[in-house]
C-alpha cells in the first residue's frame, strides 16, 4: 500500500472530497448570495451594478429592529417552555418509567403527532383554536368566558403554541440522549450520600446533560429563526419575522434585499452557535 505517499499528503487526499463538496455546495452559493446582496434590482431581475441600498436599509430602518425583536422574543419564550417540558418529560421517561416497554410506548406517543403532514397539522388548529373552535366552546360551556377569545388563533399566541408543539421533541430528544448516558451508579451514589431528588437533579443530572441542552437549544433556536411558514400561517400573515420578511421579498422576486437579509441572519445564527459551542465541547461529549 505504501507507495511513497507521505502522511501529510494522505490526509490532504482524505479531506479533498469533503472539501470539494463543501466548496461547491456551500461556500460558492453563499459567496453568490453575498455578491447579490450588493446588487440593484428591478422587476424580476437582478441588475449587476454595485448598490449599497439593501444594506443601508437593513442598518438604518426600524424594520430590522422590529423583525429581530419579534424573533428574539419568540426564541426566548419557545426555548424556555420547550426546555422545561423537554427536560421534565425526558426525566420522567428515563428515571421514573422502569419498564422498557412503557418507555418505548411513551416515546412513540411523543412522535405520533409528527406522522401527519405539516400542512394538515397547521390546518387542523383552526377547528381547535378558532372563534367557534373546541377550546372556545369548552370555555364558554364551562362558564369561564362569555365571549369567544379571538387571540387564540391568528395571533402571536398561536404562533408560539405551534412552535412549542413542534419543537418540544427537538429539545426532548438530545436531553433524553444525554440522560441515557448517565450511569445508574452515579445516581445511586448521590442517593447514598443522602441527596434529595431535587439535589440530584440540580447537582448531578443537569451538569451531566449540558451537551444535550446545548444541542436541543441549537435545534430550537435555528428552527424558530429560520421559520417563515408557521409564523405566516398561524398569525394569518400578521406577524413578521426575519425569515418571513425574506420570504416576502422572494415572492416578489426581489432577490438582492432578500440576500442581504439572509446574510445578516446567517451571521447572527453562526455567532450564536459559535458562542454556545465555546461553553460545551459537543464533539467530546457526544463521543463519550
Partner 1 sequence: MSETESKGISRRSLLKGAAATAGAAVGSGFVGGFPTIWAQNIKDVTITHVGSIYTTNPTVAAQAAKDLGFKVEMQTLDQTTQINRMLTQPTSIDVTDFGNTAMGYFKGKDLIMAIPVKEYKWWDKTVPLFTQGTYADGKPYSMQGYAPIKSQFWTDANATDYSLTPTDYIVGIPVMYNADTLGVRPDLVGRPITSWKELLSPDFTGKTALQDGVNVGVPDAAMALEANGDLTYVDKGNMTREEIDKTIDKLIEYKKAGQFRSFWTNFDQSVQLMASGEVVLQSMFAPAVTEVRTRGIPCVFQALDEGARGWYIFQMAMKHLDSGDKLRRDCVMEYMNWSNSGFNGAYFSRQGFYSSVPDNVKPLMTDNEYGYWYEGKAATADIIDPFGKVMEKAGAVRDGGALWDRMGKIAIWNTLMDEDRYLVRRWQDFISA
The single residue among 99, 251, 278, 279 that binds partner 1, judged by CB under 8 A, is 251
CB of 44 to partner 1, least distance (A): 4
Say if residues 159 and 230 touch (Cβ distance below 8 Å): yes
Residue list 65-84, contact with partner 1 (CB under 8 A): 66-67, 70
The single residue among 2, 44, 112, 142 that binds partner 1, judged by CB under 8 A, is 44
Q: Which residues pair with 42 in a beta bridge?
A: 45
CB of 20 to partner 1, least distance (A): 24
The single residue among 35, 58, 63, 107 that binds partner 1, judged by CB under 8 A, is 63
In whole angstroms, give the CA distance from residue 46 to residue 40: 6
239 belongs to the binding site for partner 1 (CB under 8 A)? yes
In whole angstroms, give the CA distance from residue 217 to residue 83: 8
In whole angstroms, give the CA distance from residue 198 to residue 212: 19
Using the minimum distance from each CB to partner 1, give the nearer residue, 64 or 222: 64
CB of 46 to partner 1, least distance (A): 10
CB of 149 to partner 1, least distance (A): 11
Q: Is 223 exposed, middle or buried (0-12, 13-18, 19+ CB in 10 A)?
A: middle
Say if residues 265 and 244 touch (Cβ distance below 8 Å): no
237 belongs to the binding site for partner 1 (CB under 8 A)? yes
The single residue among 240, 263, 264, 265 that binds partner 1, judged by CB under 8 A, is 240
Helix axes 242-251, 255-279, angle to 10 degrees: 150
The 112-131 contact track toward partner 1, x by CB under 8 A, reads -----------x--xx--xx
Residue list 178-197, contact with partner 1 (CB under 8 A): none
In whole angstroms, give the CA distance from residue 44 to residue 185: 64
Amino acid at each position: 500500500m505504501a507507495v511513497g505517499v507521505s502522511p501529510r499528503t494522505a490526509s490532504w487526499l482524505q479531506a479533498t472530497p469533503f472539501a470539494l463538496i463543501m466548496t461547491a455546495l456551500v461556500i460558492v452559493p453563499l459567496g453568490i448570495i453575498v455578491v447579490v446582496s450588493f446588487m440593484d434590482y428591478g422587476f424580476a431581475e437582478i441588475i449587476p451594478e454595485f448598490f449599497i441600498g439593501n444594506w443601508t436599509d437593513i442598518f438604518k430602518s426600524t424594520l430590522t429592529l422590529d423583525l429581530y425583536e419579534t424573533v428574539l422574543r419568540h426564541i426566548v419564550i419557545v426555548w424556555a417552555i420547550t426546555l422545561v417540558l423537554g427536560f421534565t418529560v425526558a426525566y420522567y421517561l428515563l428515571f421514573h418509567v422502569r419498564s422498557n416497554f412503557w418507555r418505548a410506548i411513551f416515546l412513540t406517543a411523543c412522535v405520533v403527532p409528527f406522522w401527519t403532514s405539516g400542512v394538515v397539522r397547521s390546518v387542523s388548529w383552526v377547528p381547535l383554536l378558532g372563534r367557534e373552535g373546541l377550546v372556545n366552546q369548552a370555555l364558554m360551556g364551562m362558564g369561564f368566558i362569555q365571549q369567544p377569545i379571538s387571540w387564540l388563533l391568528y395571533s402571536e399566541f398561536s404562533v408560539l403554541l405551534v412552535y412549542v408543539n413542534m419543537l418540544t421533541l427537538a429539545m426532548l430528544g438530545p436531553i433524553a440522549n444525554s440522560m441515557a448516558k448517565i450511569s445508574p451508579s452515579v445516581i445511586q451514589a448521590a442517593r447514598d450520600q443522602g441527596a434529595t431528588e431535587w439535589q440530584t437533579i440540580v447537582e448531578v443530572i443537569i451538569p451531566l446533560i449540558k451537551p444535550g441542552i446545548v444541542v436541543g437549544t441549537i435545534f430550537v433556536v435555528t428552527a424558530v429563526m429560520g421559520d417563515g411558514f408557521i409564523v405566516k400561517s398561524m398569525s394569518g400573515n400578521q406577524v413578521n419575522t426575519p425569515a418571513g420578511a425574506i420570504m416576502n421579498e422572494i415572492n416578489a422576486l426581489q432577490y438582492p434585499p432578500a440576500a442581504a437579509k439572509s446574510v445578516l441572519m446567517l451571521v447572527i445564527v453562526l455567532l450564536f452557535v459559535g458562542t454556545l459551542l465555546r461553553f460545551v465541547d459537543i464533539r467530546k461529549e457526544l463521543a463519550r
